[in-house]
Structure 1
Amino acid sequence: MLQAVLLDVDFTLFRPGPELGPQGYARIGARHGLTLDTERYEAARLAAIAELQLHPELVHDTELWVRFTESIVVGMGGDPVLSRSCAVELVREWERHENFFLYDDTLPTLAELRRHGLRIGLVSNGQRDLEEFARHHSLDVDVCVGSLSHGHVKPHRSIFEAALTALEAGPGDAAMVGDSFADDIAGARALGMRAILLDRDGLHVDEPDRIDTLLALPAALGLMPS
């Protein structure tokens, strides 16, 4: 019987605000003497993702996120010498709780999971203090496991295991929901959990266990409607 649900955070429950998008990059870049082309942001971001090399043992590495952001800045036309300091400031912006906004389907879905008596955990990679983040946004969750405090990033099995242990649930008693196939879905399935891909942009229509809105999650989990 399902006892718990683990949820990713960024692009699953929350969307980043304008300070973390192309216009924000351009504004912060200007403070560092850079003229960044906002039209090049998306291509630069995708290129940085393609080049991203995680720690071989999936250890949380702050420097990795700085280099990743620096690659985006350079891809937007930033001078390689000046882009480092800009990237450091941008990474700090990703740590600020007020720079994130809930998707409209987040709170109704969390409330429905609670109505069915399920325990809820957040599992996230990134630089922020996840427990403080959840409190800042008044999220009704039981457990927060962020890679900053845990020490490993998804898809390392230990980050999922830590959340399950705190929720007193086994892999067969829980489901994982997230937007990243590599981090969330493959990582959870390797542990023996059911995993549901949240595909808001319709990029993985052939994935059998997928939803395109969190509002579809209760039905996907087999929960009876209210």
Structure 2
Amino acid sequence: MLRAVLLDVDFTLFRPGPELGPEGYVRAAARHGIELDPALHDAARIAALDDLQRHPEFEHDEEIWVTFTADIVRGMGGAGDAVRACASDVVREWERHENFFLYDDALPAIAALRSYGLRIGLVSNGQRDLEEFAEHHGLDVDVCVGSAHHGYVKPHPSIFETALAALDVVPEEAAMVGDSTEDDVEGARALGMRAVLLDREGRHPEWVGAIRTLDELPAALGLGVPSDRRS
């Protein structure tokens, strides 16, 4: 029986704001004397993702994200010694809670999960303090496990295990929901959890069972009538 749901954060519940998008990169670069083309951002980010080299043991490593961001800056036309300083500034912006905005379906989805009597945890890779982040945005969750504090990133099993232990459930009683096939879905399934891929932009049409919005989540989890509506 499903007792708990773990939720990814970035691109699942939240979208990054302007400071983390093309124009934010342009403004950050300008402070370092670098001129970037915002039209190149999306292609540069995809290329940087393809080249992203994780820590071999999935340890949380800020340097990986600075290198990743520097690749985006170069892909947008940046060059020279100031690229790394620019990238570091952008990475710092990912730690600011106000730079993120909830998707319209996020809070209703959390409320819907609560109506089924489920416990909820957040599991995220990134630099931010996840507990402070959840409090800042008023999220009704039971536990937060962020890689910066935990020490390992998804799909390392320990980050899921830590959240499950805090929720007092075993893997077979929990599901993971996120936008990454490797980090969220495959990582959770390797541990014995159920998993649902949230594919907001339709990038994985081949993925059976993927959903496009969180409105579809209760049905994807096979949930019936909410406990608060049973007679």
Give the TM-score taking structure 1 as reference length: 0.98
Q: Hey, what does 1:14 align to over in structure 2?
A: 14
Q: 2:179 and 2:109 mapped to 1: Cα distance? A: 16
Please say if 1:93 is aligned against 2:93.
yes
Q: Hey, what does 1:27 align to over in structure 2?
A: 27
Q: Hey, what does 1:150 align to over in structure 2?
A: 150
Name the aligned partner's letter for residue 211 of structure 1: I
Q: Hey, what does 2:229 align to over in structure 1?
A: none
Q: 1:225 and 1:124 mapped to 2: Cα distance? A: 29
Q: 2:131 and 2:62 mapped to 1: Cα distance? A: 18
SS across alignment from 1:205: coil
Q: 1:209 and 1:171 mapped to 2: Cα distance? A: 19
Matches within 5 A, 1:1-226: 1-225=1-225
Question: How many Å apart are 1:223 and its aligned residue?
Answer: 1.6
Q: 1:80 and 1:135 mapped to 2: Cα distance? A: 39
Q: 2:7 and 2:115 mapped to 1: Cα distance? A: 17
Q: 1:205 and 1:66 mapped to 2: Cα distance? A: 31
Q: 1:44 and 1:81 mapped to 2: Cα distance? A: 19
Q: 2:217 and 2:2 mapped to 1: Cα distance? A: 13
Name the aligned partner's letter for residue 34 of structure 1: I
Question: How many Å apart are 1:225 and its aligned residue?
Answer: 4.8
Q: 2:100 and 2:225 mapped to 1: Cα distance? A: 29
Q: 2:78 and 2:203 mapped to 1: Cα distance? A: 30
* Structure 1 residues 2 and 33: alpha-carbon distance in aligned structure 2, compared to 1, 3 A threshold: same
The runs of 5 or more residues in structure 2 that have no matched partner are 227-231
Give the TM-score taking structure 2 as reference length: 0.96
Question: How many Å apart are 1:210 and its aligned residue?
Answer: 1.1
Q: 2:50 and 2:201 mapped to 1: Cα distance? A: 19
Q: 2:25 and 2:225 mapped to 1: Cα distance? A: 42
Aligned pairs, number: 226
Percentage of identical aligned residues: 68
SS across alignment from 1:207: coil
